[in-house]
Amino acid sequence: MKLRNKAAALLLLALAALLLAGLSLRARRAASPAPLARPASAPPRRPAPGPARLPGPGALPGAVQSARRRRPPRPRPRDSRRGAASLKKLARRPGELGSFQAVLPPELWIHLAVVACGNRLEETLVMLKSAVLFSHRKMQFHIFTEESLKSEFDKQLRQWPDSYTKKFEYRIYPITFSVGNPQEWKKLFKPCAAQRLFLPVILKDVDSLLYVDTDVLFLRPVDDIWKLLRQFNSTQLAAMAPEHEIPKIGWYSRFARHPFYGSAGVNSGVMLMNLTRIRSAQFKNSMIPTGLAWEDMLYPLYQKYKNAITWGDQDLLNIIFYFNPECLYVFPCQWNYRPDHCMYGSNCRAAEREGVSVLHGNRGVYHDEKQPTFKALYEAIRDFPFQDNLFQSMYYPLQLKFLETVHTLCGRIPQVFLKQIEKTMKRAYEKHVIIHVGPNQRR
Ligand X SMILES: *[C@@H]1O[C@H](CO)[C@@H](O)[C@H](O)[C@H]1NC(C)=O
Binding string, residues 132-161; x marks residues near ligand X by CB under 6 A = ------------------------------
Footprint (CB under 6 A) of ligand X, residues 83-122:
none
Select from 135, 236, 371, 389 the one that contacts ligand X (CB under 6 A): 236
- Work out how close the CB of 114 gets to ligand X at its nearest, in angstroms, rounded to a whole number: 19
CB atoms within 10 A of CB 93: 17
Footprint (CB under 6 A) of ligand X, residues 326-345:
326
* C-alpha count within 13 angstroms, C-beta hemisphere, residue 203: 31
Site size for ligand X, by CB under 6 A?
13
- Work out how close the CB of 211 gets to ligand X at its nearest, in angstroms, rounded to a whole number: 14
- Work out how close the CB of 253 gets to ligand X at its nearest, in angstroms, rounded to a whole number: 20
Query: Is the dihedral angle over the CA atoms 110, 95, 99, 35 positive or is it negative?
Result: negative
Footprint (CB under 6 A) of ligand X, residues 51-80:
none
The phi and psi torsions of 49 (rounded to 5 degrees) equal: -70, 100
Footprint (CB under 6 A) of ligand X, residues 257-286:
274, 276-277
- Identity of the amino acid at 430: E
| Choice between 188 and 239, CB closer to ligand X | 239
- Work out how close the CB of 354 gets to ligand X at its nearest, in angstroms, rounded to a whole number: 21
CA distance 179 to 316: 15
| Choice between 116 and 229, CB closer to ligand X | 229
- CA 340 vs. chain centroid, Å, equals 18
CA distance 328 to 273: 10
* C-alpha count within 13 angstroms, C-beta hemisphere, residue 294: 23
Binding string, residues 288-327; x marks residues near ligand X by CB under 6 A = -------------------------------------xx-
| Choice between 183 and 234, CB closer to ligand X | 234
| Choice between 72 and 106, CB closer to ligand X | 106
Binding string, residues 159-198; x marks residues near ligand X by CB under 6 A = ----------------------------------------
| Choice between 236 and 357, CB closer to ligand X | 236
| Choice between 292 and 330, CB closer to ligand X | 330
- Work out how close the CB of 108 gets to ligand X at its nearest, in angstroms, rounded to a whole number: 9
| Choice between 103 and 108, CB closer to ligand X | 108
Select from 119, 148, 176, 235 the one that contacts ligand X (CB under 6 A): 235
| Choice between 233 and 290, CB closer to ligand X | 233
| Choice between 281 and 342, CB closer to ligand X | 281
CB atoms within 10 A of CB 347: 16
Footprint (CB under 6 A) of ligand X, residues 195-234:
207-208, 229-230, 233-234
Footprint (CB under 6 A) of ligand X, residues 370-409:
none
| Choice between 159 and 234, CB closer to ligand X | 234
**Under the rule (CB under 6 A), what is the footprint of ligand X?**
207-208, 229-230, 233-236, 274, 276-277, 325-326
